[in-house]
Amino acid sequence: MIKLKTQIPGPKSSKILNSLKNRNGGWGVPHPIVHSSKGKGPYTQDLDGNVFLDFACQIASNPMGYNHPEMLKVLKKSIKRFPVKYAGQDFTVKEHLDFIETVTDIAPKGMNTMFVVNSGAEAVENAIKICMRNRKNKKFSISVDGSFHGRTLGALSLHHSKPVHRKGYMLEPNKELLFSDNAGDKLKSIIDRYGASSIAFVILEHLQGEGGYRVPSKKMVNDLRRITSRYKIPYIADEVQAGMGRTGKWWAFEHYGIRPEAFSTAKALQLGAVVANKKQFPNEPGSISSTWGGGHIIDMMLGMKTIEIIKRDKLLDRNRKNGNYILKRIKEIEGTYEHRGRGMMVAFDLDNSKDRDNFVIECARNSLLILGCAQKGVRIIPPYIIERDEIDEGLNTVEKAVKKVTRKGFKHKGNICKFMGCAEGSS
């Protein structure tokens, strides 16, 4: 359970964080803790001995929690060999085939081929490549308001979330659809004006991540899929955050009864991958590749074990039930609104970004790790293995934090403000 021994961050964590401020070129506003190797289930311990409950799940990348015994066995088995990482597109290991077969086994029928890469952004990048390669008259791509697809330049070209992510970069041509039931009408008007052949592909998160955990309506999704199918425009599903069972189905697009031309996955899978039918991939050697693609033996073994545990322990059903419980509890907390989500991917809004930012800080001060999304949203994404009493422990902290930070004149003080930008959000 949650346990505090020091202020947050403690002295050992503070020493490392202070150095990282100057050494880490990507320094932003991290959670002000430094993980130790200790932890169990949904709990992680920092270097100062403080025990945190994790409602952030390493940004949905840690579905089995901390020190899961079966994952530790995989690690012990894998470290008996060296190297554990091969140049997987040029030098083959058996685990590469095992991994592809395991993932495509939980993909829709006909999506029988997979290209393995390092990350979610690379998975999106390669989904883009295979879908646009034979579109000879392509002029632009189409994505949706609030979308976030990664930080490589191709993926950033599809981005309609926070401006800071795109600022100062040269990007590919892209047109934006509103996240609404009118998305299909807008797509049709673009086709009427520019021609279907001008569109390289349409890409959609079937439960938005960074953009606010918004759930698209059935009309929105079905209209877009119907139109793209009619005009033979490639349709990509971005499953990097929502996929691998988090929403209660293996893939979020399955809630809509559709099948895309390709989908990207990563995070909970432990590696990035793009999945499609064999005919979707280019047959010219070298047209897509990756030095480490299919060569991360440890990560592939952990990904396969994750899928095995989800199947065996019926975690898809568990995620649906626990997600419904979280959503119900959140709706009962005064000061929260716009409650939304599916499965273990739940969000709510506070009144403004200042309250939201203060809320995330207050939770950290009280040993609950949680993340924001969009301008004033909060996302709840615990590990799949979390128990109901642990959910309650976290939600009780959420309730107390909401009440505290929404009081008039509330302001944070202390060491934590050196690292988390206390109250810098605009009201």
Name the helix (H) or strand (E) containing 349.
Answer: strand 345-349
- The pLDDT of residue 174 is above 70: yes
Average the pLDDT over 331-341 and give the result: 97
Q: Using one digit for the tens of pLDDT, what is the confidence trace for 7-31?
A: 999 999 999 999 988 898 987 766 8
Q: Using one digit for the tens of pLDDT, what is the confidence trace for 183-238?
A: 999 999 999 999 999 999 999 999 999 999 999 999 999 999 999 999 999 999 99
User: Does the predicted TM-score (pTM) go above 0.85?
Assistant: yes
Strands of 56-181, DSSP E: 113-117, 140-144, 174-177
Closest CA to 202 of 172, 182, 224: 224
Cβ–Cβ under 8 Å, residues 200 and 131: yes
Query: Domains plus CATH for the chain?
Result: 11-54+315-420 (3.90.1150.10), 76-312 (3.40.640.10)
